[in-house]
């Protein structure tokens, strides 16, 4: 059985790994909170889909697939699931009769509000462990780093496959 990485020794180059492991732990906690509420078994890719559609009201499945870095078929499958659960609807495209525009339903927008509340709880749990001032400093530092790395380009909010 593979052993877990040892993070007790602060060595150069471990910050990216620590960020990844912390993100996974926080995501697991988020999904546990969803399960406690009896919500559908949404996956992280669904969350990225919600965020993308909220920010891009004229998005098509092709646009979503490109954003997520998946095939059109994979994006179509995710959209079909979300439509079945009542989170997403398809509308006729204004200029392309073959395409459909994807939109969050009222239920989808309400889910985003719930997700924001749950993420705030997860972040609050981090603050309980390391302190609110440390979380605020971490937030500022990560925003500064992302601004420097991405300069004037849009920051891509999508899964790391």
What are the residue ranges spanned by the domains of the chain?
15-150
Taking a C-beta distance cutoff of 8 angstroms, is the pair 56, 63 a contact? yes
CATH class name, domain 15-150: mainly alpha
Name the least confident of 14-28, 33-47, 112-126.
33-47
Q: Give the whole-angstrom CA distance, residue 97 versus residue 76.
A: 17
Which pLDDT value is given to residue 1?
56
pLDDT per residue as tens digits for the range 94-143: 888 888 999 999 999 999 999 999 999 999 999 999 999 999 999 999 99
| Banded model confidence at residue 2, pLDDT cuts 50, 70, 90 | low
Q: Give the whole-angstrom CA distance, residue 83 versus residue 11.
A: 46
Top-confidence residue, 128 or 47? 128
């Amino acid at each position: 059985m593979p052993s877990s990485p040892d993070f007790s020794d602060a060595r150069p180059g471990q910050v990216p790994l620590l960020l990844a492991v912390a993100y996974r732990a926080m995501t697991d906690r988020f999904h546990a909170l969803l399960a406690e509420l009896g919500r559908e078994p949404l996956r992280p890719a669904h969350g990225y889909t919600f965020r993308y559609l909220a920010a891009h009201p004229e998005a098509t499945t092709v646009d979503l697939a490109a954003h997520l870095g998946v095939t059109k078929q994979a994006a179509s499958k995710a959209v079909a699931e979300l439509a079945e659960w009542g989170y997403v609807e398809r509308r006729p495209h204004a200029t392309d009769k073959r395409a459909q525009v994807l939109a969050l339903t009222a239920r989808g927008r309400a889910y985003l509000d719930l997700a924001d509340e749950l993420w705030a709880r997860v972040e609050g749990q981090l603050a309980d462990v390391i302190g609110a001032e440390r979380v605020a400093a971490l937030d500022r530092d990560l925003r500064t780093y992302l601004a420097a790395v991405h300069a004037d380009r849009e920051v891509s909010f999508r899964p790391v496959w």
